[in-house]
Amino acid sequence: MRIALEVKNKFDFVDGIVLCPEVGDPKLTSWKRCNQIVCSWMLKSINPNIAESVMYLDNASHIWSVQQKRCLCTLMSRMQKQREEDYIIRFLEGLNEDYETIKSGILDMDPIPDMEKNQAESEESVVEVIESNNRRKFTNNGGKNVPKCTFCGMLGHTIEKFYKKH
């Protein structure tokens, strides 16, 4: 928009260089006409929903400043969202391999959920992973091939090495 206004020599209306003349000044009529043309161009070039919120402003510089603030707010919120996503990704990448399924599940989501949701899911999942690891340790020794004694039924030795039998 700035380029279009500068090409038409009208950007000075929006940046405040060309101020509204005093009542009775012979330039007031020309200024009003040019200001209305610039306002019209600006309103036609922005989103209709946004245009509804600024269409009652009668000064091109006011419309411009509102748009600049809105763009700045939009840009800041996008940057903040990106920063949060980066933080979440770094947090998830820092977790050990016990949480691989949780990490991949969260990273596959679009959009990535906010940190509070991830933290709540992680806390619930931590308990699940710990319980799963404990079950694995005490039921089948983590999936390792551990010898089992055919004499006493215990894990960790065979009948040949069972000292009570020999």
Q: Which residues contact 70 (CB under 8 A, 6 or more apart)?
A: 50
Same domain (yes/no): 68, 106: no
* 136 shares a domain with 100: yes
Q: Which domain holds residue 113?
A: 95-166
| pLDDT score of 29 | 93
The tens-digit pLDDT sequence of the chain (166 residues) is: 888 888 888 889 888 888 999 999 999 999 999 999 999 898 898 888 888 888 888 898 888 888 888 888 788 888 888 888 888 888 888 888 877 877 777 777 777 766 665 555 555 655 565 566 555 545 554 556 777 778 777 777 777 776 665 5
Whether omega before 111 lies within 30 degrees of 0, making that bond cis, reads yes
* Token pair belonging to 44: 């036609």
Whether the Cβ atoms of residue 72 and residue 64 lie closer than 8 Å to each other: no
Output the pLDDT for position 6.
87
Pair (115, 163) in one structural domain: yes
In a domain, 81, yes or no: no
pLDDT of residue 160: 77
Same structural domain, 59 and 117:
no
pTM over 0.75: no
Six token digits for residue 97: 């391999």
Q: Do 105 and 68 belong together in one domain?
A: no
Contact indicator for 55, 67 with CB cutoff of 8 Å: no
Type of residue found at 34: C
Query: Which residue do the tokens 């992973």 mark?
Result: 129
Nearest one of 106, 101, 108 to 128, comparing CA atoms: 101
In a domain, 87, yes or no: no
Residue 90 is assigned to a structural domain of this protein: no
In a domain, 83, yes or no: no
